[in-house]
Amino acid sequence: MPRISIQGKKPSLTPGAAAENRHNICVFNKKQRPAAAIQDQPTSLENASKSLEKSLLTPGKLAKTTPNATLKITSPWMPDTTELKRTPLFETHLASKAKMVDFGGWNMPVQYSSIIEEHNAVRTAVGLFDVSHMGEIEVRGPQALSLVNYVATNNAAKLKPWQAHYSALLYEHGGVVDDILVHRLPDGNMFLCVNASNQEKDFEHIKQVVGKSFDAEVDFASDRYAQIAMQGPKALATLQKLTKTNLSEIKYYWFADGAVGGTPARIARTGYTGEDGFEIYIAPGEAPGIWNELLKAGEEFAIRPCGLGARNTLRLEAAMALYGHELTASINPLEANLGWIVKMDKGDFVGRAALEKAQTAGLTRGLVGFEMKERGIGRDGYEVWIEGKPAGWVTSGGPSPTLNKNIGLCFLPAAKALPDIAIQVIIRNTPVEAVTVPAPFYKRAKA
């Protein structure tokens, strides 16, 4: 398989230097979160769109409305939109009448038509997501793999060329810097995909902890890539129309370099929806053209462009973590059910000592799924009680379009972080009955 080379800059990035770092505020103390979040309730329909954004945003950060051509919100705190970053597909989204919001400093589509319809398109057919806000970091050089293995929790040495895995960057104290995807290239270089609002932080973290102790270069590559995710049972059939790469030969969590619509592309069989699908990395300038070609290719399956709203409901059903919610600087990966990406026996890595200590002492809390038993929706940040006493908080919660239930994830004391525990979610000062359940809530049928 040929190696791709992507050159050029993202064309329509707006930020000045100040904006580069302003969204990098994503660390907060979970212990303080529930009470603050309850006071965070919107106060009127006027605030609906604000809370729409807020619920997607990193907690603790002030939500801002996003005026643009398609959405007019009268608000006393209209932001300076030039502060918001744009993906190369920004104009395309506006032309599609997408509802745009501020997501961690990025002006992103939250929905095009209906979150539920977009969600269902991905579960039953195929949907297309602009995820160009995600960051890319390239690690090159003789010790690229060793470097990644030292800063990330999973065992990169087990990756074969063209294979990828989920991993995490930790602080020395064991809290999570970010959750990431690691791709191993055949030349030994490593390609990391990281969260949008963490990308500068991740880059600085990696440079800081590895110093000059590895013979490898860490390159902040986000400006060289746009990323489009095509997800759903018809993703393969749709994407295959535009590439000569035999997609059925790419296994889940493997990738290939090839071309999509004649443009060099890195094609990874990864995703954040719980469905089969691909994440496609291309040069930013090519993104609008490829986006439209992909939509056209999917017409026979009634493909839909999907916003961050559906991305969130899909990942929640699949119980995939969202940084700032299930993962933060004050939560270690073992607590968040991510022990499977932490390889304690691979040798030393950043945060290992703290995790070992935490394991020896015994974990104090755990993440568990829940579903509402009574009418009501447990949402991010709501307090959770057991037998009338505060016990934890909801990290992510909302309606599940696939299951037609109100579901969520919550932290509880370790002894209670098990299925079949009666809990109460505090919804506007009222305890509403719920029960813990095994997660994920949704698993696709294996082909």
Chain residues that interact with other proteins, rule: CB under 8 A: 41-49, 51-52, 55-56, 72-74, 99, 110-111, 114-116, 309, 312-313, 375-377, 379, 398-399, 401, 406, 428
Residue 197's closest CA among 277, 134, 275, 129?
A: 134
Cβ at position 375, least distance to other proteins in Å: 7
Cβ at position 74, least distance to other proteins in Å: 7
Nearer to other proteins, 55 or 395 (CB): 55
Task: Tell me, rounded to whole angstroms, the distance of Cα 388 from its chain centroid.
Answer: 33
Nearer to other proteins, 11 or 42 (CB): 42
33 bridge partner residues: none
Contact 429, 393 (CB under 8 A): no
Q: Are strands 304-306 and 127-130 parallel, antiparallel or unpaired?
A: parallel
Burial of residue 392, with CB atoms counted within 10 A of its CB: 0-12 exposed, 13-18 middle, 19 or more buried:
buried
Nearer to other proteins, 364 or 430 (CB): 430
Nearer to other proteins, 166 or 441 (CB): 441
Q: Are strands 405-413 and 422-427 parallel, antiparallel or unpaired?
A: unpaired
Q: Are strands 226-231 and 135-140 parallel, antiparallel or unpaired?
A: unpaired
Beta strands across the sheet bearing 127-130: 255-260, 263-268, 277-282, 226-231, 127-130, 304-306
Nearer to other proteins, 1 or 116 (CB): 116
Cβ at position 294, least distance to other proteins in Å: 24
Cβ at position 22, least distance to other proteins in Å: 23
Quote the tokens at residue 266: 């890195």
Nearer to other proteins, 60 or 376 (CB): 376
Contact 128, 280 (CB under 8 A): no
Cβ at position 345, least distance to other proteins in Å: 42
Nearer to other proteins, 377 or 435 (CB): 377
Cβ at position 238, least distance to other proteins in Å: 25
Quote the tokens at residue 152: 């990330």
Quote the tokens at residue 190: 């490593």
Cβ at position 63, least distance to other proteins in Å: 11
**What whole-number distance in Å separates Cα of residue 369 and Cα of residue 418?**
9
Burial of residue 364, with CB atoms counted within 10 A of its CB: 0-12 exposed, 13-18 middle, 19 or more buried:
exposed
What DSSP state is assigned to residue 101? Answer: E
Quote the tokens at residue 202: 């991740």
Contact 99, 109 (CB under 8 A): yes
Nearer to other proteins, 37 or 265 (CB): 37
Other C-beta atoms lying within 10 Å of the C-beta of residue 127: 33
Nearer to other proteins, 101 or 185 (CB): 101
